[in-house]
Amino acid sequence: MAGTLAQGKAHRLTGHPWLVLTTVMVGTLLIGLDRTVVNLAMPKIMGDFSITVTTATWIATSYIISNAIFVPVFGKLGDLFGNRVIYLWSFVGFIVVSMLAGFAWGFSSLVFFRILQGLVGAAVYPTAMSLIAKSFADPKARAQALGIWSSSFAVSAVIGPLLGGYLVDNFSWRWVFFINLPIGIAGLIMTLIFLPHDRPGERGTFDWFGAVLLSGFISSLVLVVDRGQDWGWLSLTSGLCYLGIVVFGVLTHQWETRHTHPIIDFKFFRNPVIVSVLIVSFLSFGGMMGAMLLLPVFAQTFLHYTATQSGYLFVPMALALPIFAPLGARLASSFNPRYTVSFGMALSALGLFLLMHLDPAMTSVDFILPLVLFGAGLGLGMAPLTSAATTSVPLHEVGMSSGLLNLTRNIGGAFGIAIFGTILSNATSANVLLVAQNSHILGSTPAILGEAAQLIILKAEILSYGTVFGYAALSMLIGGLIALFFLRTTTASEKDIPPEMLAEAAAGG
């Protein structure tokens, strides 16, 4: 009798919209943490495996490329074969591969496991968005849920340095992978209990050749963006990547426009809502990832913070994001979403603008207001953007749409890191000349001249960080203006949605 009651209670909880949201947020946090937490372990990994900085960057690059390639692939697989089954097995795979990465016996094995991590982790974002969209039948509740979920993606990027710094400073670098086991087991149990079972429907055939062509295009693009600064943007290796982008891009377009079940349906690019969402998302994530990469570097280089202390700087941002994301969803349901998005982007731009005046005399208190504004703006803007990407397409295409959105965010983040890194290097060289021309050295002894040269370089580097945050603020502001003038929202007609999908949405809501 007790067993029957327990099963009945569990059955009632299965598919409950807010429990579905909570479940996929655990997966989103786990995957997001893994992407950022490893960066802080790089110095220890380099020491253990006796590798250079250039070689060590492949630990991050391999994950980024693999993840970017398979995000749209799993978005389509979720649409065809069911989101729960794809999400479940990718979650299991991620836990297993994380443990293997923690036990890596050399650099090559670690890179291999990072490739597998990126592959299996790529399924979480698009299937999570689809599960949320199909579980919340009410558009306002769906927008609010997607807003809360989208904040978890950004929060993971903020918590990553905080958690990673603690693990690296107090344990081994291997714990940045082992920590995935307890979190993953909790998420797996929630997945088995709370996620609704997939309903049978029309499946279609998966476009394997299109997936190969798309992989060639994405890998060429992400590879040159991620490594172009080290190789040289005009080097032969970069040139081969540019050639791959063009060739695979043309072949992908020609093949996908003819296939009945494409990985990426190019009709999305004729949808003004999707196009505007992708552009604004590209700019916002470029600014976010570029800023969050450089701020810990500044704190550790010029403020002499430890990895853990530099992670604490992001706490105000981590608190602001989940508070303002639901607010952004509510405001977007009451007003035109473009106003909410543009205001949020402007607020983030203001936060980055305040960081232009970085100084070695700053304390952690001085970072609170800029990062609260930055996090609040992202929270206000990301929720309506995520909602627009799912409500402007039929429900059975949400996986494909969400895969495209997350691919754009990944590429935008990679572009932000690469471009702002290049700007920092170029600005430093330019500022050395500028500072030297406006400096007066009182003395001519070798000791005085040597100390003056060091001070000039130090001042030039500090000014360069301000330049980078100025460009990041400009990127956010441009995104806000695009949202203000071009972002439109439409809701896909239910006549375009298969009956089984409508039944699934109704049952979930």
Asked, for residue 200, whether it belongs to a domain, the answer is no
**SS3 of residue 127 by DSSP:** helix
201 occurs within a structural domain: no
DSSP code for 82: -
Pick from 8-22, 302-316, 406-420: least confident: 8-22
d(CA 470, CA 475): 9
Q: Which amino acid is at 29?
A: L
> What integer pLDDT is reported at residue 410 of this predicted model?
76
**pLDDT beyond 80 at 212:** yes
CA atoms of 72 and 342, how far apart (whole Å)? 27
Instruction: Give the dihedral sign, CA 184/189/194/198.
Output: positive
What residue spans of 50-82 are helical by DSSP H? 53-81
Q: What is the mean pLDDT of the chain?
A: 77
Q: What number of other Cβ atoms are within 10 A of residue 240's Cβ?
A: 13
The pLDDT-based confidence of 363 (bands split at 50, 70, 90) is confident
| Residue 237 vs residues 47, 217, 481: alpha-carbon distances, Å | 28, 15, 36
- Mean pLDDT across 255-259: 81
Tens digit of each residue's pLDDT (9 = 90 or more) over 309-342: 777 787 788 788 778 877 877 777 777 788 888 8
Whether the model clears a pTM of 0.85, i.e. scores above it, the answer is no
Q: What whole-number distance in Å separates Cα of residue 473 and Cα of residue 430?
A: 20
Nearest in space to 75 (alpha carbons), one of 400, 410, 396: 400
Cα 87 vs. chain centroid, distance in angstroms? 18
Residue 187, pLDDT > 50, answer yes
Specify whether 324 is located in the same domain as 242: no
What is the tens place of the pLDDT at every residue in 84-134? 888 888 888 889 999 999 898 888 899 899 988 988 888 887 888 788 878
- On whether both 236 and 149 belong to a single domain, the answer is no
Whether 42 and 83 map to the same domain: the answer is yes
- The predicted structure's pLDDT at residue 287: 79
CA distances from 243 to 237, 247, 249, 257 (A): 10, 6, 10, 21
Nearest alpha carbon to residue 146 among 441, 495, 381, 445: 381
Residues 331, 270: Cα–Cα separation, whole Å: 27
Three-state SS at 417: helix
Residue that finishes a domain, picked among 235, 260, 285:
260
Question: Could you tell me if 90 and 172 lie in one domain?
Answer: yes
Both tokens of 308, joined, read: 């853990």
| H or E element at residue 379 | helix 368-391
Do 251 and 319 reside in the same domain of the chain? no
Specify the number of domains making up the chain: 2
**359 residue type, one letter:** D
Q: Both 181 and 226 in a single domain? A: no
Residue 250 structural domain: 207-260
Residue 346 domain-assigned (yes or no): yes
pLDDT digits (tens, 9 = 90+) for 466-503: 888 888 888 888 888 888 887 766 554 444 444 444 34
Query: Residues 33-46: pLDDT tens digits?
Result: 777 777 677 777 87
- Is the per-residue pLDDT at 65 higher than 70? yes
Question: What would the two tokens of residue 298 be?
Answer: 């500044």
In this predicted structure, which of 47-61, 146-160, 322-336 has the lowest mean pLDDT? 146-160
CA distance 204 to 345: 40
Task: Decide if 202 is inside a domain.
Answer: no
- The reply to whether 278 and 166 lie within a common domain is yes
| Strand intervals (E) in 269-368 | none
Report the distance separating Cα 257 and Cα 366, nearest Å: 52
Using only C-alpha atoms, the chain has a radius of gyration, in whole angstroms, of 23
Q: Judge whether 46 lies within some domain.
A: yes
> Is pLDDT larger for residue 226 or for residue 153?
226
The answer to whether residues 253 and 323 belong to one domain is no
In a domain, 341, yes or no: yes
Q: Which of 385, 52, 12, 40 is nearest to 194 (CA)?
A: 12
Segment (H or E) for 144:
helix 139-170
Query: Domain check: are 224 and 338 in the same one?
Result: no
| Coil/strand/helix, residue 358 | coil
CATH number reported for the structural domain that contains residue 92 in this entry: 1.20.1250.20
126 and 167 fall within a common domain: yes
pLDDT, position 13: 62
pLDDT at 444: 64
**What pLDDT, on a 0 to 100 scale, did the predictor assign at position 490?**
55
Vertex 101: Cα angle to 119 and 93 (nearest 5):
40
Please check whether residue 374 is in contact with residue 291, taking contact to mean a CB–CB distance below 8 angstroms.
Answer: yes
Residues in the chain: 509
Higher-scoring residue by pLDDT: 52, 281: 281
pLDDT on residue 96: 92
Tell me, yes or no, whether 122 and 216 share the same domain.
Answer: no
Q: 149 with 211, same domain?
A: no
DSSP code at position 305: -
